[in-house]
Amino acid sequence: MKKSLLQRWCDRTWMYAVYFLGIFMGCALIWNWGSWEVSQKLVCLLAVVVPMHIFEENSFPGGFYFMNNTGFHSKQPMVYPQNECTNMVTNLGAEIVLILVTFSTMRIEVSAVTLVIFFGLGETLNHTRAGILMYRRYREVGKKTIYGPGTVTSWCMLVPLAVASIRWLSFHPFTVGEVIGGIGIFLGIAVCLIGLPFVISIRVKSKRFAFEDLGYFEKYEKGNPK
């Protein structure tokens, strides 16, 4: 069946837009390296790393959505709660937010750096939890690690960024309100770009935006007796 324009956009086209934005932010970082403060560089680096994280989750090796939906005990893990449409909203939306925060960093400096901390650690904790669940699911068919799509960029890129941000925060004065502001941005992303789309998807269970490729988990699912 021929896909609609929206279906084609939500399938893979939006990813190219995110990758372009990541390259753009990398160029902005290089161009402004001598004039930007460390805090702004940290936020910009997050905007560069997130498209790499998205690439690992969705393209190579791909299949994060299946792992994520399985973790939510979905009866149709290729259909809901994460589908191609929510995937686009979450990831493209988060990248746009990070770009906006990057160019607003000097007005909300502490909050912006706090966002980097919670975003990096939150993503890493989620991927580690999901990886453990998938290891338990597939260990009888040969899975030997807790790796899942997104784990490498989480531990090797997001965690170092979070640690650098914690160090920055420890050497600069801040108020509780500023930290709460950063947590608020993080929660706003979690609620508006993840939670609400998931709630809608769970109710609708639309197969129009169902995923078609198991990615990394294809080889394990074939031999999974469950």
pLDDT tens per residue, range 118-150: 999 999 999 999 999 999 999 999 999 999 999
How many independent structural domains does the chain possess? 1
Assigned domain for 100 exists: yes
Q: How far is CA 143 from CA 5, 77, 214, 220, in A?
A: 38, 19, 15, 7
Residue 175 DSSP one-character state: -
Give backbone dihedrals phi and psi of 92, rounded to 5 degrees, phi first. -65, -40
What pLDDT, on a 0 to 100 scale, did the predictor assign at position 3?
87
Q: What is the pTM of this model?
A: 0.95
DSSP state for residue 100 in the 8-state scheme? H
* Mean pLDDT of all residues belonging to the chain: 96
Reduce the DSSP state of residue 77 to 3 states and report it: coil
pLDDT of 1 strictly over 80: no
Above 90 in pLDDT, residue 2? Answer: no
Residue 225 falls inside a structural domain: no
58 lies in a domain? yes
Asked if residue 153 belongs to a domain, the reply is: yes
Closest to 39 measured CA to CA, from 106, 119, 120: 106
Residue 226 lies in a domain: no
Asked if residue 13 is part of any domain, the answer here is yes
Residue 205: exposed, middle, or buried by beta-carbon count in 10 A (0-12, 13-18, 19+)?
middle
Span 56-71, pLDDT tens digits: 999 999 999 999 999 9
C-beta separation of 145 from 30 below 8 A: no
197 located within any domain: yes
Length of the chain: 226
Tokens of 31: 């161009």
Answer yes or no: are the C-beta atoms of 200 and 132 closer than 8 Å.
no
DSSP 8-state code for residue 21: H
Tokens representing 46 are 């997050």
Residue 82 lies in a domain: yes
Domain interval for residue 155: 5-220
Please, how many CA atoms are within 13 Å of residue 201, restricted to the half-sphere of its CB?
28
| Mean local confidence (pLDDT), 2-25 | 96
